[in-house]
Structure 1
Amino acid sequence: MIVWVLYDIENDKNRNKVAKFCKQKGLYRVQLSAFLGTMERSDIDELSLMIEPLIDEAIDKVYIFTMSQHDLKKCKMLGQAFDKKLITDEVKSLFI
């Protein structure tokens, strides 16, 4: 299934760890604090467990949500939807 991970984490060290975990799970960075990719439900659950101890629930925000390939193709992406420095056209073509 298609997975988006979006976050706003104040602590630099913890924010970098979250990015590292997302990459380890095979997600692609599409913005500075946004990852996109495909994962199985068990991997999503595991990623959640890895991230949870790193966040301060009083101030940090992490969103992990899924969608179908069909739903992703229906998304409207305006402007520079993908950071060209972070994602190649080859990777973008997998999802759009």
Structure 2
Amino acid sequence: MLFFVMYDIESNKVRYLIAKYLERHGCTRIQRSIFLADLDKAIYDQIKADLTEVQSLYDNHDSIIVCPISTDQLRAMKIIGLDIAVDVITRSRNTLFF
């Protein structure tokens, strides 16, 4: 399952912990507060549940967005500026050995 996780979190500590959590679970950081992942639905559901729990634990004005996306939509995305290796994240790059 292909999905983005995006957040706007005020607390440096919480933001750092969430970033490390996402990286440990196989998400790839593509911008400071945006991660892209291609993981099993079970892991996607676990990430959503865990982030929902973290959000509810303290009084805040933060927002976390978990957004599923299709491969076609991702490929149609226009990247302006520094290129992102989407093929590596989606594991669709083909390698030939000679």
How far apart, in 1, do the equivalents of 2:44 and 2:59 lie?
19
1:77 aligns to what?
A: 79
Return the index of the structure with the highest Cα Rg.
2
1:93 maps to a residue whose letter is: D
Gap regions ≥5 residues in structure 2: 93-98
TM-score (norm 1): 0.77
How far apart, in 2, do the equivalents of 1:70 and 1:2 lie?
11
* Matched ranges for 1:1-96 at <5 A: 1-55=1-55, 58-80=60-82, 82=84, 91-94=85-88, 95=90
1:24-80 superposed Cα distances (whole Å, 9 cap, x missing partner): 110110101010120122111111222223225751111111111111001122223
Cα RMSD after superposing both structures: 2.1
TM-score (norm 2): 0.75
1:70 maps to a residue whose letter is: D
Number of matched residues? 88
Which contiguous aligned blocks of 4+ residues in structure 1 show a shift greater than 4 angstroms?
none
Question: Percent same amino acid at aligned positions?
Answer: 25
